[in-house]
Amino acid sequence: MATSLETVESFVEGAPPGELADVINDIKALTFNEPDIVSRLGPAFERYNEEQFVTAKLPGSSQQVIISSHSSLATDDTTTLRARQASPSTMKSTLKSVSSYVKEHFPNGSYGVYSIEGDSKVAIIIVANKYSPNNYWNGRWRSLYIFDPSSSSIEGSVKVDVHYYEDGNVRLLTNKPITASVSSGTGAGIVKDISAAERKYQEELNRGFTSLSEGAFKGLRRQLPVTRQKIEWDKVASYRVGQDIGGAARR
């Protein structure tokens, strides 16, 4: 039976940060009877790259370019990649302020500032990746903000995606809408409000993790086994399962 292309595309678009190659290898293994299926996944790869703000390095340069619906990469006759990025004075000041902010708060961050909708609005994108496959976890932070000079307002969202897969499979996916009124239309003023919104959200995440650890997660398992005695793990090999642990000897 032929594999549904739509199903396979959903695997690609749902790939955790830094694990797209692993997902592709799994797709190849599961669809060995359809060796051409990966070659038909071009549109899914494009959607994944745009949604995940995948970065690409320009040939002959250390510059990272973010792939998104607000930026574009084009290939000319010499296969040189180009990025569409605006350059008016407001854009330059915003780009400079975003650069300083990202360098301070995101060790592996990339950013972009783009004019959109006929230069009437400004899109600001921040993405940071942290991959640790040897420790079985990977993560990605994505921010997208649209600044409207006519209303001095920002609308956007922060998305956090963390995958932990040692002896299990746990994934954190968040999408936090952000709205703010910008007191100053300068680049520094815009980034100041972005910084305040992201700091507030990070504090919310920290409080949420603490609450889960002390509340829901703690309630998932007993603090003590049914014997009401703590297990001495260095002697666990000598326990008689069903008697010492389960109390069967007393019954």
What's the confidence (pLDDT) of residue 139?
96
pLDDT at 167: 80
pLDDT at residue 137 above 80? yes
> Which has more confidence, 73 or 182?
182
> Residues 186, 95: contact at Cβ < 8 Å?
no
- Residue 228: predicted pLDDT: 65
Global confidence as pTM? 0.79
Q: Does 141 have pLDDT greater than 80?
A: yes
* Range scoring the smallest mean pLDDT among 56-60, 97-101, 102-106: 56-60
Q: Which fold has domain 89-214?
A: Aspartate Aminotransferase, domain 1 (3.90.1150)
Q: Which residues, 6+ apart, have CB-to-CB distance to 188 below 8 Å?
A: 93, 97
Q: Which of 73, 18, 13, 14 is nearest to 45 (CA)?
A: 13
- Over residues 41-68, the mean pLDDT reads 89
What is the model's pLDDT at position 90? 73
CA-CA distance, 239 to 75, in Å (whole number)? 67
Q: Where are the domains positioned within the chain?
A: 1-52, 89-214, 225-251
pLDDT per residue as tens digits for the range 103-116: 999 988 999 999 88
- Between CA 191 and CA 183 the distance in angstroms is 11
CA distance 166 to 14: 19
Mean per-residue pLDDT for 137-145? 96
pLDDT band per the 50, 70, 90 thresholds, residue 193: very high
Q: Which of the residue ranges 58-67, 112-121, 215-224, 239-248 would you say has the lowest mean pLDDT?
A: 239-248
pLDDT above 50: residue 83: no
Q: Given this model, what pLDDT does residue 107 score?
A: 87
Residue with tokens 């040897």: 134
Structure tokens at 30: 């599961």
Per-residue pLDDT at 91 exceeds 70 = yes
Task: Give the model's pLDDT for residue 220.
Answer: 65
At residue 118 the predicted structure's pLDDT band, cuts being 50, 70 and 90, is confident
- Nearest 5°: the CA angle 115, 118, 123 is 25
Mean pLDDT of 60-83: 63
Whether residue 97 is predicted with pLDDT greater than 50 in this model: the reply is yes
Average pLDDT, the chain: 83
pLDDT at 96: 92
Q: Strand, helix or coil at 187?
A: helix
Q: Is the pLDDT of residue 219 over 80?
A: no
Cβ atoms of 136 and 165 closer than 8 Å: yes
